[in-house]
Amino acid sequence: MSHNVVVVGGGVVGLSVAWRLAAENDVTLVDPAPARGASWVAGGMLAPVTEAWPGEEDLLDVGGASLASWPGFAADLGVELYTEGTVVAGFDAADAAQLDIVADFLARQGRSVERLTGRELRRVEPTVGPSVRSGLKVSGDLAVDNRELLRCLTSRAYEAGVEFIREPARAVRAGAVELAGSVLRCDIAVVAAGAWSGALHPALASAVRPVKGEILRLRARDGTLPPPRHTVRALVESRPVYLVPRADGELVLGATQYEAGFDTAVTAGGVRDLLMYAERVVPAIAEYELTETAAGLRAGSRDNLPLVGALEPGVLVAAGHHRNGLLLAPITADAIRAMVAGVEPPAEIKSADPARLER
Ligand code: GLY
């Protein structure tokens, strides 16, 4: 049965949901600036393994299931995946102890992880600097060029018949999405507005919050060493940093994490810290061109799990994806499509049910 669905939010989650829903439904997507926001700023890691932390087993399960969907999702979109995997670097004894905790946790989850000395890590990823003392090699993590992904998603959504309304939404309720001067009637509304979702429906008011992240883009120049082949994550004396290579010589370097409301200013201190820590991990970046600085707002939830499911009859939510919006886009889109069709969603998404907000 076909429904009239309005999706509020055109980041990676909203676009994926709208595109997948359009296979069976009439879909309208509401966003004043689709394909921007946190999805445009993102690093592009599809990394449940190295984003997971003990106590976050449910998140690892959802992330693992979504990662397994990524090759098919990318093929349908015509977007390329980076498959070299992730290496993780540590500097001091405390970093090595943290890497051990992560490695033990991942091994218990049956994930493939190899512990390395600094020297072994440099053999795997020669761009890593001489003061790195410990490491991990994690196979199976993927990466994607987030901007290419957004271009492909937007094109596929248009081709599938999604109608775009470039206006902000004011509120979402059963059967209606309120815009500034009009109301869109619908069978089902989907709140997928990332960090802005909390303002759209009362059930989300204290459930989703902005978590600021600053990110830098650098580019290798003639005569400089090339960027790393792997995604490189590091703890630099307990400060986390990651470097994600792109095919064209660009390197995305991130990311700060602050609770700063809706502030998206890039701070001098944020840029300084990212460059300082990243240069210790991959010294060659000091000679690269700094091409862009940006800040985005992740949609944080209380338990770092996303919110995917029903808020009330006729209103679904797909938000709160925090550090994992790109990774979780395929499973979120599959789940919302199943819920709209009235069939069973993927089992792993159950832990993301917003009903937990009431408990
Ligand atoms: N997933 C990376 C970040 O949120 O910075």
| Residue 213 CB–ligand 1 contact under 6 Å | yes
Q: What is the pLDDT of residue 291?
A: 98
The answer as to CATH 3.50.50.60 being correct for domain 4-42+146-208+302-357 is yes
Q: What mean pLDDT comes out for the span 339-351? A: 97
| Residue 48 CB–ligand 1 contact under 6 Å | no
Gap between the Cα atoms of 151 and 146, Å rounded? 9
**Residue position matching structure tokens 């399960």:** 61
- pTM reported for the whole predicted model: 0.96
| Residue 243 CB–ligand 1 contact under 6 Å | no
Q: Give residue-wise pLDDT tens across range 215-245.
A: 999 999 999 999 999 999 999 999 999 999 9
Domain ranges in the chain are 4-42+146-208+302-357, 86-139+210-300
Cβ burial, residue 38 (10 Å; 0-12/13-18/19+): buried
Q: 315-319 and 188-191 as β-strands: parallel, antiparallel, unpaired?
A: parallel
Q: Which of 12, 40, 45 to mutate to test the pocket of ligand 1 (most atoms within 8 A of CB)?
A: 45
Identical fold at 4-42+146-208+302-357 and 86-139+210-300? no
Fold of 86-139+210-300: D-Amino Acid Oxidase; Chain A, domain 2 (3.30.9)
More confident residue, 113 or 326: 326
| Residue 298 CB–ligand 1 contact under 6 Å | yes
**Are the CB atoms for 228 and 125 separated by under 8 Å?**
yes
> Per-residue confidence at 48, pLDDT binned at 50, 70, 90?
confident
CA of 342 to the centre of ligand 1 (A): 32
Q: Give residue-wise pLDDT tens across range 164-179.
A: 999 999 999 999 999 9
Q: Give residue-wise pLDDT tens across range 15-46.
A: 999 999 999 999 999 999 999 999 999 999 99
Mean pLDDT of the chain: 96
Q: What mean pLDDT comes out for the span 253-270? A: 96
CB burial readout 145-165, b (16+ within 10 A) else e: bbbbbbebbbebbeeeebebb
Residue nearest (by alpha carbon) to ligand 1 atom 3: 323
CB burial readout 280-312, b (16+ within 10 A) else e: bbbebbeebeeeebbbbbbbbbebbbbbbbebe
The token pair at 341 is 């069709």
Residue nearest (by alpha carbon) to ligand 1 atom 1: 323
Q: Give residue-wise pLDDT tens across range 61-104.
A: 999 999 999 999 999 999 999 999 999 999 999 999 999 998 98
**Are the CB atoms for 183 and 177 separated by under 8 Å?**
yes
CA of 42 to the centre of ligand 1 (A): 7
| Residue 43 CB–ligand 1 contact under 6 Å | yes
Q: What is the pLDDT of residue 295?
A: 98
